[in-house]
Structure 1
Amino acid sequence: MPLKHLTWLKPDIEVLGCSFCITSTMGRTFFVLLALSVTLAFWGVFPVKAEDAYRFYTWTVTYGTASPLGVPQQVILINGQFPGPRLDVVTNDNIILNLINKLDQPFLLTWNGIKQRKNSWQDGVYGTNCPIPPNSNYTYKFQTKDQIGTYTYFPSTLMHRAAGGYGALNVYQRSVIAVPYAKPAGDFSLLIGDWYKPNHKALQQTLDSGKPLPFPDGILINGQTQFSFSGDQGKTYMFRVSNMGLSTSFNFRIQGHQMKLVEVEGSNVMQNIYDSLDVHVGQSVAVLVTLDQPPKDYYIVASTRFTRKVLTVTAVLHYTNSRSPVSGPVPSGPTYQLHWSMRQARTYRWNLTSNAARPNPQGSFHYGKITPSRTIILTNSASIINGKQRYAVNRVSHINADTPLKLADYFKIPGVFSLSSIQSSPSDGPPYLATSVMPASLHEFIEVVFQNNENTMQSWHLDGYDFWVVGFGSGQWIKDSRRKYNLHDALTRHTTQVYPNSWTAILVSLDNQGMWNMRSAMWERQYLGQQFYLRVFNPIPSLANEYDIPPNALLCGKAVGRHS
């Protein structure tokens, strides 16, 4: 079961869930230095500084039975837990995680928001990795390079995300980095999302048959509909809130308490006070809450947004000196107020005076003074192709190749993908199926406009990067829309919402070479084609730009039998 009460984790102590950690610092014994040398030799080229820690994990993925909505159903467990273990690490830690697949289907985990610097080999999606076969394993090796913040992990294969297998991934600052708030008395992760009673295979069959998913059956907080968090009166606690659902935005609030927003997906933000916050699919926020009310129990509430039927789940904030249970009506929240949500989104601003993962101000990179090399306009659509429900981007509904695109690119295997498969702006014509890859050059600085002409909420994610969310607007984006951009203190994040019949604009510095997935965070849409891959490329091979293929890389499809 998930941990209900977690104290603040210091970066200089062993982290929960780490079965074996080595930190190389001055004064360590020869044995530790020798162990590090052996580790580096074994794992191949992985250039890191000597002081960065290595953290080793072994996770086993199995099926289990749980009743999150009162009906027994099959769920995916990691080390027997639903949700999976909370992964707490420190900036620049090297993660060596052996994942053992005991399911009856191939399986992958992706690390949502971890930038994987120069290392798309570890991204954990179909375009970069062969899925781990049943009764087999794969060891992920990546570094939380220059990151601090609230992230998550989840399964990227088939519809496994609908069965669990997800968890919190929190990156804490090194001792030399100061964060712009006092150390909280406690640190809670809240994984909130919509949930279905049918298992993941039944949901996949629905999609494969050409039908959309039904409306969700409920919402869960940390895999449950009843949960509690305890704290002492007068103290301040951090709540890390992530939307782990398949399709639905939610509004989050705590009865009788205000929330100070301090971090959004790795960005320290201006610390505005909110009564409630919208969190869209795939997004994460961190808030500070002071227990400054009379000692009793209070509702923690999440309810769906932009849905005709409103689903609500509650948890309990328990004061340790409380003698009164929760009482009164459950606090209501907004339901379909689009403009309210868009106005709130515009209040999220970067804290330009704070440190980031490096000891320099976050705003030292003046993104607003750089002229983009080009503009990419992406229009999503719901389409019927060959009599079945599909979703498309610029008319292309993505289908996964039998060979990961990263392997096809590395081994120069022809016929797997084409760099002309998707255009960088919408065009007229019917939608079609293709393995869609869009070319880009390393160190380009680009503008991307997500144009949503549907009457549904959208959520877009880009692996390997964070990006500046510079503008939201209703209707059609035009060049004049740039006048509304925030070119001073827009925050960076990895997932952005796009409101119905509206647009969202982002700026991206393509400084991370690799094959990177740009997708709908709404999993039905991703599964049925609303995604593509951005190939960020430099024709001159260099380990300074990208690590070489891992020696333990799984090979499948047309890559079988190839050698690096």
Structure 2
Amino acid sequence: MAPFLLLELLNRLVILALLLGSSSFCDSGKWVWFNVSESFRLLFFRVIPYQVILINGQFPGPQLDVVTNDNLVLNLINKLDVPFLLTWNGIKQRKNSWQDGVLGTNCPIPPGSNYTYNFQPKDQIGSFTYFPSTGFHRAAGGYGAINVYQRPRIPVPYATPDGDFTLLVGDWYKTGHKQALQASLDSGKSLPFPDGVLINGHSQATFSGDQATLSAGKTYKFRVSNVGLKNTLNFRIQGHTMKLIEVEGSHVVQNMYDSLDVHVGQSVNVLVTLNQAPKDYYIVASTRFTPKKLVASGVLHYTNSKTPVSGPLPAEPSYQLHGSMEQARTYRWNLTANAARPNPQGSFHYGKITTTKTIVLSNSAPLINGKQRYAVNGVSYVNADTPLKLADYFNIPGVFSTSSLQTVPNGGAATVATSVIPTSLHDFIEVVFQNDENAMQSWHLDGYDFWVVGFGSGQWAPAKRSTYNLVDALTRHTTQVYPNSWTAILVSLDNQGMWNMRSAIWERQYLGQQFYLRVWSAVQSLANEYFIPTNALLCGKAVGKSH
């Protein structure tokens, strides 16, 4: 029997034991096998092959369709020649940062080996993604969609659509992720401008259906996620308007839009009614706020259409940064809609809670030892050989620092550190992202969603709190910060663990624009956090520890 077939047979027996013995699961289960490998695929106009990371032979990877609170048991077999991890973008991992899939919580999966993830999309409905968190693998693919559906009898605030399409859009480099991109970053250089934009792995795509499912007068859901590396994308459909219904797990007030700005790491859901003449129409994703425009186009094909797409591609909106910020302010929480549980989304009155701490985070792009780095409050993060979560659990000293990163900018010289900000379970904190650079920023917090309460230009100051939306700001897991501007969020720290706060722009994350938030309680119990998994990989200073 081939080694990988034998390994997979053994893994299935192990997974069965994990599922039956897990204390964290009480609902239905979904078993998934991911085989990670590299191969070549035709991407741009399907004429030139490029090396990509495949999952189960697919690029993008398989779509995970689950129901909220499903037990997801996912066995990943790493057939690459380097260590590998996947992380779950927007999945909260309630009480379970052990499964977060980043280098601060998990040892990477060695080549020719496997690891079984064991987690739930707990009390969530919406569109999320997964992608590689190790090295610069994200530039080579390995990403896919996670679509979390409501349980039976949990209503959503719109009629069941006649079809459901997932669109993974993002900028793309034609050069190799290891030999060129990662090597360039390691040598102290920033990345060049990307080469193109892809929609579901191609620069051109078609969205159609059969006679019964795609026709004039019907309404379809489009799930749009920006899985790119660095650029905001604008999404639009020729001749059609879009009704925004959900943003990263939050049902929103259902406004109509001609186009939507989707920033790196973000996801939106829209409804599109086919109310035009039955022919083909362009679907477009293009870069925003860039001197050179990169465009990927798709085709929306009406049933029985005999008229191909025609005319110029629909133009991007004329508004720029200020208009994009104004669009973001129109995203409002639907306070009358149910969440994943049968209670209104707005029943938690976040605007009436006193914050326990304010953290102001200023990003920068310093040179350290003559090399390009990116920093938060003057500290550029470096990965440790030992995952921070393991070091914390086993009380291993010297792995990370809780004093190197200050909670306000200090204007000092840039340094490097494995930085952690300590917080307490059940703190309610205000975080302000201050962006004094001319580049768009995108910030993400693992294990949480947060209320995006304010955007503004220039410097943030306490007086800016008077502009906050403390009534119906939506929750999400990733927020943009416009150039020379600020964004404020509120976070209820109800999820114990070690959680990664990072730039979603992967070049910046790779070169240090990240840190970890340690959410801690002196009471160690299953009510706060699950035990270390029995199959946890140990590496660095944790090798040989008993668990």
- TM norm structure 2: 0.95
* Cα shift at 1:199: 1.2
1:481 alignment counterpart: 464
Distance 1:335 1:64 in 2: 40
* 1:45 and 1:547 in contact (8 A); partners too: no
Distance 1:487 1:541 in 2: 33
One-letter amino acid matched to 1:311:
L
Distance 1:459 1:313 in 2: 22
Distance 2:303 2:22 in 1: 50
Distance 1:142 1:343 in 2: 37
Unpaired runs of 5+ residues, structure 2, are 1-7, 209-213
2:312 alignment counterpart: 329
Percentage of identical aligned residues = 74
1:113 alignment counterpart: 90
1:197 alignment counterpart: 174
One-letter amino acid matched to 2:198:
L
1:514 alignment counterpart: 497
* Cα shift at 1:40: 6.8
1:319 alignment counterpart: 302
Q: Describe the SS at the equivalent of 1:241.
A: strand
Q: 1:286 aligns with which of 224, 249, 269?
A: 269
Distance 2:317 2:423 in 1: 40
1:554 alignment counterpart: 537
* Cα shift at 1:72: 2.1
* Cα shift at 1:419: 1.2
* 2:401 and 2:417 in contact (8 A); partners too: no
Q: 2:147 aligns with which of 147, 170, 175?
A: 170
1:212 alignment counterpart: 190
The answer to whether 1:123 aligns with 2:131 is no
* 1:305 and 1:334 in contact (8 A); partners too: no
Q: 2:113 aligns with which of 133, 136, 151?
A: 136
The answer to whether 1:151 aligns with 2:134 is no
One-letter amino acid matched to 1:53:
S
1:430 alignment counterpart: 413
Q: Provide closer, same or farther for how the CA distance between residues 40 and 368 of structure 1 changes in structure 2, counting only shifts above 3 A.
A: farther
* Cα shift at 1:539: 1.5
Distance 1:378 1:347 in 2: 25
* Cα shift at 1:335: 6.5
Q: 2:249 aligns with which of 219, 242, 266?
A: 266
Distance 2:274 2:454 in 1: 35
CA displacement 1:501-539 (0-9 Å, x = unmatched) = 000000000000000000000000000000000000001
* Cα shift at 1:74: 1.0
One-letter amino acid matched to 1:113:
G
* Cα shift at 1:552: 0.2
Distance 1:375 1:498 in 2: 17
1:65 alignment counterpart: 40
Q: 1:89 aligns with which of 48, 62, 66?
A: 66
Structure 1 segment 137-536 matched on structure 2, within 5 A: 137-201=114-178, 202-230=180-208, 231-334=214-317, 337-536=320-519
- TM norm structure 1: 0.92
Distance 2:411 2:442 in 1: 24
* 1:439 and 1:535 in contact (8 A); partners too: yes
Greater mean deviation of Cα atoms: 58-67 or 508-517: 58-67
Q: Provide closer, same or farther for how the CA distance between residues 403 and 43 of structure 1 changes in structure 2, counting only shifts above 3 A.
A: farther
Distance 1:41 1:165 in 2: 25
* 1:106 and 1:134 in contact (8 A); partners too: yes
* Cα shift at 1:41: 6.6
The answer to whether 1:54 aligns with 2:10 is no
Distance 2:20 2:492 in 1: 30
CA displacement 1:95-121 (0-9 Å, x = unmatched) = 000000000110000000000000000
One-letter amino acid matched to 2:54:
L
Distance 1:297 1:41 in 2: 49
Distance 2:491 2:411 in 1: 27
CA displacement 1:282-317 (0-9 Å, x = unmatched) = 000000000110000000011111111111110000
CA displacement 1:223-251 (0-9 Å, x = unmatched) = 00111111211110000000000000011
CA displacement 1:4-35 (0-9 Å, x = unmatched) = xxxxxxxxxxxxxxx9xxxxxxxxxxxxxxx9
Distance 1:104 1:563 in 2: 28
* Cα shift at 1:73: 1.8
Q: Describe the SS at the equivalent of 1:227.
A: strand
* Cα shift at 1:44: 3.9
* 1:101 and 1:107 in contact (8 A); partners too: yes
One-letter amino acid matched to 1:170:
N
Which contiguous aligned blocks of 4+ residues in structure 1 show a shift greater than 3 angstroms? 38-45
Distance 1:522 1:145 in 2: 26
Q: Describe the SS at the equivalent of 2:384.
A: coil
Q: Describe the SS at the equivalent of 2:373.
A: strand
* Cα shift at 1:39: 4.8
- The CA RMSD measured in Å over matched residues stands at 1.5
Distance 1:166 1:508 in 2: 27
* 1:193 and 1:244 in contact (8 A); partners too: yes
Distance 1:293 1:418 in 2: 59
Q: Describe the SS at the equivalent of 1:342.
A: helix
Distance 2:259 2:496 in 1: 38
* Cα shift at 1:71: 3.1
Distance 2:23 2:104 in 1: 22
Unpaired runs of 5+ residues, structure 1, are 1-18, 20-34
* 1:127 and 1:404 in contact (8 A); partners too: yes
One-letter amino acid matched to 1:218:
G
Q: 1:103 aligns with which of 67, 75, 80?
A: 80
Q: Describe the SS at the equivalent of 2:423.
A: strand
Q: Describe the SS at the equivalent of 2:322.
A: helix
Distance 2:402 2:62 in 1: 39
* Cα shift at 1:336: 6.8
Q: Provide closer, same or farther for how the CA distance between residues 335 and 303 of structure 1 changes in structure 2, counting only shifts above 3 A.
A: farther
* 1:306 and 1:336 in contact (8 A); partners too: no
CA displacement 1:421-445 (0-9 Å, x = unmatched) = 2111100211011001110000000
Distance 2:293 2:174 in 1: 17
One-letter amino acid matched to 1:180:
P
Count matched residues: 528
Distance 2:261 2:463 in 1: 28
One-letter amino acid matched to 2:112:
N
One-letter amino acid matched to 1:220:
L
* Cα shift at 1:42: 5.7
* Cα shift at 1:543: 1.0
* Cα shift at 1:179: 0.3
